[in-house]
Amino acid sequence: MPSDNSNNTLINQARCRHASRLPEYRSPFGSRPTDSYSDIFIDVDSGAKDVVFCYTYGLYSFSYHEEPMYRVASSNRYYINLMMPHETGILFYWFKYTVTDDKGNDCVLFYTAKADSSDGEGMICSNPPRVGADEDKFPYAFQITVYNKDFRTPDQMKGAMIYQIFPDRFSRDKDFTYDRLRQTSPKPERIYHEDWLEDVDIYGKPETGYLACDFYGGSLRGIAEKLEYIKSLGVDIIYLNPIFEARSSHRYDTADYMTVDPVLGGTQAFMELVTKAEQTGIKLILDGVFSHTGADSLYFNKFDRFEENGAYGAYRDGKESRYRSWYNLYRDKDGKICYDSWWGFPDLPNVNENDLSYRNFIFGKDGVVDTWISRGASGIRLDVSDELPDSFIRQMRATIKDKTGGQGMLVGEVWEDASNKCSYGSYRDFLLGNTHDSVMGYTFRAVILDFMCGYIDAAVANSRLEGFRERYPAESYYCIMNLVSSHDVPRIMTMLSKPEDTSDREVQRDFAVDPSDYDRCEALSRMCFGFQIAYVGASCIYYGDEVLMQGYKDPFNRRTYPWNHLSERQRQNLAFVRRIARLRIDNSCLRTGFYKTLYAEGNLFAFERSLKDGCDYFGKPGKGASHIVYIMNRSDKPAYVSVTEDFNGTSVELLDRKTARPPLTNRLIFGGIENGILNIGLGSYSLGFVIY
C-alpha cells in the first residue's frame, strides 16, 4: 500500500465530481417518495477503475450495500438507476473507486459529501463516511430522504403567514381590571402587574425566588379584539403559546389539559376567539406540551391544590390514583420521594408517553386532541418533539388527521436538521410522512442570522438553505415555520446588534440596541422579513417583531406589546411589514411557487419565485405575478445589478458601479422588467422585489 504522503497526493490528483443538487448528477432533485427511482451519475478521473456505488438505508437500523456502476459509453462518467426503499427512512450514499499511484500501487478512495458546497459537490477521502446515529459523522455521506409516497400536508399551511402570540403579553381586553386579574386565579407565588408597560419580573417573591409567575392580564378576548390588526399583517394562522391552565405565565407546566387558564378568560373565551378568527379567515394552532406536566397539576398534584388525588400524593400516602402510572416516582436511599423530571426541573415531572392510559387520555374519545379539535383548533405545535417517542407522534398525527378530514396541522419543535435528527441513540421519524407535517424553522433562523451578522457570506448561506431544501420533502418544506424570533430565543433586533452572550439577567434586562447602531439593525431586520416573505415555507412573525420590539433571552423576549406607545420609527416599520406582506397575499408564487437561486456571492443574495404555465409547484392554479425576484444587499456599500429575462430564464448580474445607474434611495423597490432588462441600484442594507 502507498504511504500516507502518496495517499494524500493521490487524493489531490484524482479528479472526481458528483453534485447532488445538479440534475446532470442526480435526478430528480431532492428527497424521494418510497418506491420511486433516482438517476445518479459521477465523473471520475480517467485512471479510476472498479467504480462502486455504496449505500445504506433504514431508520432505527441500517442495511449496507455496494453495487457496481455502469460506464456511460466510453466516457469517464458512471451511472446507476436506484430504486428507493419501500419503507420510509434515510438513504445515505457515497462512491468508492480504485486508482493506481506512480509506483503501481492500488489505492481505494471514497467520494463523500462536503459541508457548505455550492451545488452539493463532494470531496475525495481515504475513509468512507460515518452514518451511525451515535457516530461523529465525518466524512459526510450524501443523503436522500425517502418519505411516504402518500404524504400530503394541509394546503392551508403551505406558504402561510403565521403570527406567534405569547398570550399573557399580547393584549388585555377592553373589560380588563387589575382587581379581576388578581382575583381570577390567586396563588401566593404569583405577581400581578398593574402597569402594562412595567418590565418583566426576574426575581419572584422572596419566599419562592423566580418561578416565571408574573402576569399582565393579556387574554384571549384581548387577542380577539386585535384580529383586524393581525389580519392586516397578512396572517392566515395564529400560533398560540400554551393556553391550558397552569401555574406559570409561560404555561409549559400544564395543570389541566382540558381547561383554558382562567387568567386568559377560560374555555368560553377560546370558543369566542375561534368564531371570530374564522370570520376573519384565520386558523388557530395550539401549543401542546406532552412530554411532561406541571408538578402543580391535576395529574401530579404535588402541592395538594386539586381535589382529586394525584400521582405524587398517591405514591406518598400509599393510595390509588388514575394518574399514578404516568410518572416514575421512587425513593432515594434516605427515603426522600424523587421522580423523573424534564431536564431536572422539579416543577416539570416527566410523563411516560408509552403508558396506554396516558395515550388514551391524549388520543382517545373525548381525550385532549378530540376535545380541542372539536372546540375549533386547526392544529397542534408539539413542544420538544425530540423528547417524544416516534410512535407517540405518529399516533398524534393520525388522530389529528382523522378528526379533521386530513386538514389538521401538526408542527414539531425541532431545532436541528429534522431530516436526519438523532436523539436517544436513533435517527428520528420526523419528516417521512408519518409524524409531523413540518417543523419550526430554527435552521432557517440560524442561516439568516449568520448571514445578516456577517459570519458567513451569501454563497455559504445559499448552500446551507439549499441543503435543507434538498433533504426535506417538498410537502414539509413548503410548510416549515420559518422564523427569526420566538419565545425561546432573543428577538431579531437584539440579535442583529450582536450582544455578548451572558446568563446575567440584570445585564440582559438592561441591554438595548445602541442608538448609533439602530439604523443598521432596523434595515437588516427588514431584510430578514423580506427574505421570510419571499422564501419557501410558512413565514412566522413573533408578535412585536413587526414594530421592532427588543428583548434578550427569556423572559425579556416575552415583554408586552406596546399598544398606544409606538414611536414614529415603529409605526413606519409596521407600515413596511404590511406593505411587504401584501405581496405574499396577492402573489401565489411567493407562497407555493417554484424556487431558484439567481445570485449568491459576498453580500448579495437574489432568488426567484415563479409559476409555470400559471400553476404553482404543486400544480395548482396561482394568482398574481408569474415571477418575482427578491434581491438584498447586506453590505453598507451600494450594489448595482441587472435583472434579465430571456428564453433561458431569469438571471441576475452584478454590474460595474461606473456604468450602472445611480442607486435608488428607497429600501423597498418594486420594479417591472421592460425590454428584457432592469438595472437596479441597491443602497446599503437594502432589499428589492422585481415583479413581472
Which of 639, 420, 670, 631 lies closest to 535, judged by CA?
A: 631
C-alpha cell at 540: 412566522
Listing DSSP states for 361-395 in one string gives HHHSTTSHHHHHHHTT--EEEETTGGGS-HHHHHH
At 312-329, the pLDDT tens digits run 999 999 999 999 999 999
Helix (H) or strand (E) holding 571: helix 568-586
Residues 6+ apart with CB under 8 A from 183: none
Q: Quick one: which of 425, 411, 361, 342 has its CA closest to 382?
A: 411
CA distances 629 to 226, 348, 452, 690, 692, Å, are 33, 47, 19, 5, 9
- Higher pLDDT pick, 421 / 682: 421
Neighbours of 587 (CB within 10 A): 22
pTM attached to this predicted model: 0.95
Residue 681 has pLDDT above 90, yes or no: no
Q: Which of 630, 570, 585 is nearest to 232 (CA)?
A: 585
Q: What is the pLDDT of residue 188?
A: 92
Q: Answer for the pair 241, 200: CB distance below 8 angstroms, yes or no.
A: no
As a whole number of angstroms, the distance between CA 551 and CA 544 comes to 10
Pairing of strands 426-427, 422-423: antiparallel
Point out the least confidently predicted range of 191-195, 347-351, 625-629, 676-680: 676-680
Residue 143's nearest CA partner among 24, 45, 18, 43 is: 18
Length of the chain equals 692
Provide CB contacts within 8 A for 4, sequence distance 6+: none
Judged by average pLDDT, the poorest of 22-31, 34-43, 104-113, 471-480 is 104-113
Residues near 343 by beta carbon (within 8 Å), at least 6 away in sequence: none
User: Confidence band (pLDDT; 50, 70, 90) for 671?
Assistant: low
Asked if the model's pLDDT at residue 661 lies above 90, the reply is no
Rounded Cα distance, 469 and 294, in Å: 37
Secondary element (H or E) of residue 450: helix 442-452
Distance CA 548, CA 689 (A): 22
What gap in Å lies between CA 238 and CA 227, rounded to an integer?
A: 10
pLDDT band at 1 (very low <50, low <70, confident <90, very high): very low
| Confidence at 664, pLDDT banded by 50, 70, 90 | very low
Exposure string of 110-123, with b = 16+ CB inside 10 Å and e = fewer, is: bbbbbeebbebbbe
Grouping H, G, I as helix, E, B as strand and the rest as coil, residue 5 is helix
> What percent of the chain shows pLDDT beyond 70?
95
pLDDT digits (tens, 9 = 90+) for 524-533: 999 999 999 9
Q: What is the largest CA-CA distance in the chain?
A: 90
Cell of 141: 455521506
Q: At what angle do helices 518-534 and 568-586 cross, to 10 degrees?
A: 10
Amino acid identity of residue 535, one-letter, is Y
Q: Are the beta carbons of 82 and 38 closer than 8 angstroms?
A: yes
pLDDT of residue 676: 66
Residue 538 has pLDDT above 60, yes or no: yes
Predicted local distance difference test score (pLDDT) of residue 273: 98
pLDDT value for 482: 98
Round to whole Å and give the CA distance between 577 and 584. Answer: 11
CA–CA gap between residue 113 and residue 55 (Å, rounded) = 13
Domains and CATH numbers, the chain: 4-147 (2.60.40.10), 161-291+353-581 (3.20.20.80), 593-691 (2.60.40)
pLDDT of residue 2: 42
Residue 5 has a pLDDT of 47
Side-chain-side CA neighbours of 491 within 13 Å: the count stands at 28
Report residue 561's pLDDT band, with 50, 70 and 90 as the boundaries.
very high
Return the pLDDT at 392.
98
pLDDT of residue 330: 96
Mean per-residue pLDDT, 568-576: 97
Q: How far apart are CA 189 and CA 598, in angstroms?
A: 56
Average pLDDT over residues 289-305: 97
Distance from CA of residue 330 to its chain's centroid?
A: 37
In this predicted structure, what is the pLDDT of residue 644? Answer: 87
Whole-number Cα distances in Å, 23 to 50, 110, 527: 24, 22, 31
Q: ∠ CA 381-385-391 to the nearest 5 degrees?
A: 105
